[in-house]
C-alpha cells in the first residue's frame, strides 16, 4: 500500500492544528508531539477506514483524542493528581508565549475539567462546528454546547478573580482616599 499524495498532503496540512490541540490537552510540547506522532502512525495504519473526501482534520482529531484519553486514564491510575500535574507543567513553561496575560490564561485553562477544556478548544480555537466537536468527542451536540458554556463561565470567573486580586483593595483604597466616586 502506497500513501496517496493527496491523502498525505491532507494529513500534513492538519498537523499544525493537531499539535496545537495536543498541547492544549497535555500541556507539554514534548508529550504533545509524541501524541501527534502516535496519532499519525495510527491514522496511516488505518487509512483504509478513512472515507476519501470526508473530513480529514476531524478524523485525525478523533484519533488523537482517543489516544490521549486512553493514555490519560492509564496515567491517572499511576499518578494521583493528573490535573495538578497538568497545571504544573503549564506553569513550568512560561516563556512559551512571553506575555504574563497568557500565563494566567494558560493556568486558568489548565484548571478546567478536561471535558470542558477540550470542548472549548475544539469550538473556540480549532474552528470546528458544535456538530463536528460532538463527533470528535463521541457525545451529543447539546453536551458540547453546555461544556463550552461552562468552560467560558469558569474561565471568566477565574480570570476575573485573579484580576480583582491584582487590583484589589489598593485600587479601592486609593479611590476612596482620592475622593473618586465616579464608579
- Burial class from Cβ neighbours inside 10 Å (0-12, 13-18, 19+) for residue 178 reads exposed
Among residues 57, 59, 60, 106, the one that binds other proteins under rule CB under 8 A: 106
Written as nine digits, the cell of 146 is 453546555
Residue from 52, 92, 101, 172 touching other proteins (CB under 8 A): that is 101
Residues 6+ apart with CB under 8 A from 28: 89, 93
146-165 positions binding other proteins, by CB under 8 A: 152-157, 159-161, 164
Which CB sits closer to other proteins, 98 or 179? 98
Q: Is residue 129 within the footprint of other proteins (CB under 8 A)?
A: no
Q: Is 102 in the site for other proteins (CB under 8 A)?
A: yes
Under the binding rule (CB under 8 A), the answer on residue 20 touching other proteins is yes
> Binding of other proteins at residue 23 (CB under 8 A)?
yes
**Given the rule CB under 8 A, which residues bind other proteins?**
1-3, 8, 11-12, 15-17, 19-20, 23-24, 33, 36-37, 40-41, 44-45, 83, 96-97, 101-102, 105-106, 109, 113, 120-121, 124-126, 152-157, 159-161, 164
Amino acid at each position: 500500500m502506497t500513501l496517496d499524495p493527496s491523502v498525505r498532503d491532507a494529513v500534513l496540512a492538519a498537523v499544525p492544528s493537531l499539535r496545537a490541540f495536543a498541547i492544549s490537552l497535555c500541556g507539554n510540547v514534548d508529550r504533545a508531539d509524541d501524541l501527534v506522532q502516535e496519532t499519525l502512525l495510527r491514522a496511516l495504519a488505518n487509512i483504509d477506514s478513512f472515507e476519501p473526501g470526508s473530513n480529514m482534520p476531524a478524523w485525525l482529531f478523533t484519533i488523537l483524542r482517543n489516544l490521549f484519553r486512553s493514555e490519560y486514564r492509564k496515567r491517572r491510575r499511576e499518578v494521583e493528581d493528573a490535573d495538578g500535574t497538568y497545571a504544573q507543567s503549564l506553569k513550568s513553561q512560561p516563556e512559551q508565549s512571553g506575555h504574563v496575560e497568557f500565563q494566567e490564561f494558560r493556568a486558568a485553562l489548565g484548571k478546567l475539567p478536561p471535558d470542558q477544556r477540550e470542548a472549548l478548544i475544539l469550538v473556540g480555537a480549532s474552528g470546528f462546528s458544535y456538530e463536528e466537536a460532538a463527533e470528535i468527542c463521541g457525545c451529543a451536540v447539546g453536551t458540547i454546547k453546555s461544556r463550552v458554556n461552562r468552560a467560558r463561565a469558569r474561565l471568566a470567573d477565574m480570570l476575573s478573580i485573579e484580576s480583582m486580586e491584582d487590583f484589589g483593595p489598593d485600587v479601592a483604597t486609593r479611590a476612596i482616599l482620592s475622593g473618586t466616586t465616579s464608579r
